Amino acid sequence: MTKEEPKKNKAGSLYIVATPIGNLEDITIRALNVLQSVSIIACEDTRQTLKLLNKYNIKKKLISYFQPKEKLKTPLILNRLEQGKDVALVSDAGTPGISDPGFPLIKKALEKGIKIIPIPGASAVTTALSAAGLPTHKFLFLGFLPPKKTSAAKLLASLKDETATLVFYAPPRKLPQFLALIEKQLGDREIVIAREITKIHESFLRGTPRILIERIHQTPLKGEATILISGAGKKSR
């Protein structure tokens, strides 16, 4: 088992720990060692984090850290770090800060000179890209679409000439509307919907917006989805 380097200052370190996006076995040995060694784990949802900790028999003090109350919890966590306690930041799934809570805390910790240590691991973005069959040498991750249809349409229109593979997150209930916007604003692109990645019902749906809309109407999808869109003038290879 490897050990983290000893700290050179009195303040604790903030570990940014990636956790599984579905299958609880998708966690690194280093991540488990860090979760076992820190004083506190700041998590998006304590119930979700407990599932992971219980599987690996890890018992730690938990602090909830979730949107939109990140700013309220940030001072508490910073106080613990300044007291010399090591803190691990985790989200419900994947890498903290990637369309998940984390940025405000990391920014404030850096301002105070606190050491930030990334513990890499699972991310829905890279996992979906690796199996989608779309070009991966250049991609643009855009997180969730704006909630308002007009704002979402405007964003997609601004990407019409973008040659990189576009990557979005989307809740299943909004997929038909999202696909219709893609067809209207971007045209007949090649789309991949990566759903329930690493879970029992993992699936990859491939096709044009129109084809996928028809498939979803016939069989509604459940579970979080990652949407990948081929870039302007690009074909999969």
Strands (E), 86-178: 87-90, 116-119, 139-144, 165-170
Residue 212 is assigned to a structural domain of this protein: yes
Residue 7 is assigned to a structural domain of this protein: no
The three-class DSSP label of residue 49 is helix
Per-residue pLDDT reduced to its tens digit, 82-138: 999 999 999 999 999 998 899 999 999 999 999 999 999 999 999 999 999 999 999
- How far is the C-alpha of 152 from the C-alpha of 154, rounded, in Å? 5
Q: Mean pLDDT throughout 40-63?
A: 96
pLDDT at 4 over 70: no
| Percentage above 70 pLDDT, the chain | 95
- Domain end among 88, 119, 150: 119
| Percentage above 90 pLDDT, the chain | 84
Per-residue pLDDT reduced to its tens digit, 207-232: 999 999 999 988 878 878 999 999 99
Domain that holds residue 113: 14-119
- Do 59 and 90 contact (CB within 8 A), yes or no? no
Q: Mean pLDDT throughout 45-56?
A: 96
Closest listed residue to residue 178, CA positions, set 213, 204, 154: 213
pLDDT at 175 over 90: yes
Average pLDDT, the chain: 92
Q: Are residues 137 and 218 in the same domain?
A: yes
Query: Among 5-9, 30-34, 35-39, 161-165, which stretch is predicted with the lowest mean pLDDT?
Result: 5-9
Q: Which helix (H) or strand (E) holds 207?
A: strand 203-207
Q: Are residues 24 and 83 in the same domain?
A: yes
What total of structural domains would you count in the chain? 2
CATH of the domain at 59: 3.40.1010.10
> Residue written as tokens 């973005």?
125
Residue 192 is assigned to a structural domain of this protein: yes
Confidence class for position 35, pLDDT limits 50, 70, 90: very high
Q: Are residues 152 and 108 in the same domain?
A: no
pLDDT for residue 236: 44
pLDDT for residue 237: 42
